[in-house]
Amino acid sequence: MSEALLKVEALFCERDERVLFEDLSFMLHAGEVLQIEGQNGSGKTTLLRILSGLSSHYEGDIFWRGEPLGEVRENFLAEMLYFGHQPGVKAMLTPEENLRWYTSVQPALDRVTIYEALEKVGLRGFEDMPCHSLSAGQNRRVSLARLYLSRSPLWILDEPFTAIDKRGVAEKEALIRQHAEMGGAVILTTHHELTAHDGLRRINLDQLAGTNS
């Protein structure tokens, strides 16, 4: 098997004097989808924030393409897409303008491509409306549209199916599977039962906590 994209060794995290997880080790290779499971409060979002470089409150080692994450942080951030609980949408910009801003580090995307991504997340007709006039769910969909435009090999997704109907869930799950099949890798949390496939793995944080609530 090829070198792991992401390698985690002996990760430990404690919050409010409660161990969320300890001795967490795993490798993520191209073509894999890793689902992080656990009860509410088990540390799923905390783990994703650590893996995406948004939190330093942990012990252990994380490697990106074989190098310590702290030494290749800039390269890692350029190759990683993070989708969190907060949409990260600029309220004064339109959905189209937000997506142009998101993808500014990539080759310029034409308007048709951006509009197609917005249509796939159910925002056809809202392309030119300021995001402050859209609902919270619609703003989350603006952020989700990045998946259709991203060329990042690693996707870290925290509950990406929230506020999406059944058809949308099926489409996004297919997109995630396609990303893996094309050589990408995905780490995600979701309450949705993912369809099993060869590249899907699961880690349950409840089994790694020193103390569970």
Q: Do 22 and 106 belong to one domain?
A: no
Q: How many CB atoms lie within 10 A of CB 17?
A: 6
User: Which of helix, strand or coil describes residue 156?
Assistant: strand
Whether residue 211 has pLDDT greater than 50:
no
73 and 157 in one domain?
yes
Looking at residue 12, its pLDDT comes to: 96
**DSSP conformation class of 195:** P
Q: What is the pLDDT of residues 150-199, one digit of tens each?
A: 999 999 999 998 878 888 889 999 999 999 999 999 999 998 889 888 89
Contact (Cβ atoms closer than 8 angstroms) between residue 51 and residue 6: yes
Consecutive H or E run containing 19:
strand 18-28
Among 99, 124, 151, where does a domain finish? Answer: 151
Q: Are residues 31 and 115 in the same domain?
A: no
Determine the Cα–Cα distance for residues 43 and 38; give it in Å rounded to an integer: 8
Query: Does residue 84 form part of some domain?
Result: no
Shared domain check, 171 and 143: no
For 134, the domain range is: 89-151
Closest to 150 measured CA to CA, from 170, 193, 127, 120: 120
> How large is the C-alpha radius of gyration of the chain?
17
Same domain flag for 106 and 144: yes
Return mean pLDDT, the chain: 91
Is 24 in the same domain as 118? no
| Whether 4 contacts 28, CB under 8 Å | yes
Q: What is the tens place of the pLDDT at every residue in 136-160?
A: 889 999 999 999 999 999 999 999 9
Q: Pick from 99, 118, 151: which residue ends a domain?
A: 151
Among 151, 168, 202, the domain-final residue is 151
CA nearest to 150, candidates 191, 113, 192: 113
Same domain as 143, residue 100: yes
Query: What separation, in Å, do the N-terminal and C-terminal C-alpha atoms of the chain show?
Result: 38
94 and 54 in a common domain: no
Say whether both 29 and 130 belong to one domain.
no
Q: In this structure, what CATH number is given to the domain that contains residue 190? A: 3.40.50.300
Number of structural domains in the chain: 2
pTM over 0.85: yes
* Residues 159, 206 within the same domain: yes
Q: Is residue 138 part of a domain?
A: yes
Q: What one-letter code names the amino acid at 46?
A: T
Please indicate, yes or no, whether residues 105 and 34 belong to a single structural domain of this protein: no
pLDDT score at 173: 94
Mean pLDDT of the region 93-99:
95
Query: Do 130 and 147 fall within a single domain?
Result: yes
